[in-house]
Amino acid sequence: MSTLLVSHLAKRFDSFEALRDINLTLQTGEFVALVGASGCGKSTLLRIIGGLETRTSGGLEIDGTPITGPGRDRAMVFQDYSLYPWLSVMENVRFCRTLKSFAKDQSQAAVGAAIRRANLLIDLMGLARVRDARPDQLSGGMRQRVAIARALMAQPEFLLMDEPFGALDTQTREVMHDLILHVKDIERSAILFVTHDVEEAVYLADRVVVLAPNPGHIDSVWDIPLPPRTQDLKLAPEFLHYKREITQRIRATSGMVSDRATLEALAGG
């Protein structure tokens, strides 16, 4: 059981205030989605938690230990897959096992366990047929499966996903949604998921955090106490209720209202 704690976190890029007073907790077994209009800093927040960006002020710790940089306890999945094209699917999945921090334990038991885990992840992600293929021979959806398997191979406490399905078509996304929920049931990693798609957020997450821009801050937090997800649920009234409420919050915070006023002024003039 691990807890990620973000407290009063702020981020500035020179004179631009990207994030202000962010407070967030994430515990083992949870699935939290970060949504918000573009420019609200949701990806920046994820990258700070991943250790890929520094924070300007505020606390960021896991079980009391401050985060100072990237680490294998927080594996990340990116929108553009970021696979290693010179490695096969299986070699990509096993990539972290070639790093010193994992290779320390070369006992037969550890190596055997790693091989079993890699095979399990390959099966879990539906990659058995393409395990020896190269990433460039795969479709976008399959590549993202490899990237997720590669991240899970490190057995991270927290899986950080930065708009992972943003580049996929709708049908592939639906398949990936059910797959990632399946992964969540089997793996113990907590998942922090950045998306601009409210439906995706409500479908996947136990909790949806709405960020608002100028500067990026938490607008509202929504617990989603919906029954186990099936695709039909996306049409159920209670699902649509959350989708509508959250979408309206994002609209209200994104400055679209003033855009409309500007447009009307232009049309009138």
Min CB(127)–other proteins separation in Å: 17
Q: What is the greatest pairwise CA distance in the chain?
A: 77
The three-state secondary structure class of 100 is helix
Closer residue to other proteins (CB): 136 or 232:
136
Phi-psi region of 151 (alpha: psi -120 to 50; beta: other; left: phi over 0): alpha
Q: Please report how close the Cβ of residue 259 comes to other proteins at its closest, in angstroms.
A: 32
Sign of the Cα pseudo-torsion (221, 226, 228, 234, in order): negative
Min separation Cβ 37 and other proteins, Å: 23
**Nearer residue to other proteins within complex by CB, 70 or 112:** 70
* Residue closer to other proteins (CB basis): 62 or 202: 62
Residues at the contact surface with other proteins, assessed by CB under 8 A: 50-52, 69-72, 74-76, 78, 80-82, 84-86, 95-96, 98-102, 134-136, 147, 150-151, 154, 160
- Closest to other proteins by CB, 78 vs 239, is 78
Q: Which residues contact 109 (CB under 8 A, 6 or more apart)?
A: none
Instruction: Write down the least CB distance from residue 171 to other proteins, Å.
Output: 25
Q: Which is nearer to other proteins, 167 or 240 (CB)?
A: 167
The alpha-helical segments, DSSP class H, found in 154-236 are 170-186, 198-204
CB of 135 to other proteins, least distance (A): 7
Chain length of the chain:
269
CB 34 within 8 A of CB 191: no
CB of 173 closer than 8 Å to CB of 165: yes
We find the least distance from the C-beta atom of residue 159 to other proteins, in angstroms, to be: 10
Q: Give the strands of the sheet with 57-62, arranged side by side.
A: 16-27, 3-13, 57-62, 65-66
Residues 143, 80 contacting (CB under 8 angstroms):
no
The distance of closest approach from Cβ of residue 114 to other proteins in the complex, given in angstroms and rounded to an integer, is 14
CA 148 from chain center: how many Å? 10
Nearer Cβ to other proteins (50/141): 50
Q: Which is nearer to other proteins, 95 or 178 (CB)?
A: 95
Of 210, 212, 243, the C-alpha closest to 226 is 243
Q: For residues 158 and 46, is the Cβ–Cβ distance under 8 A?
A: no
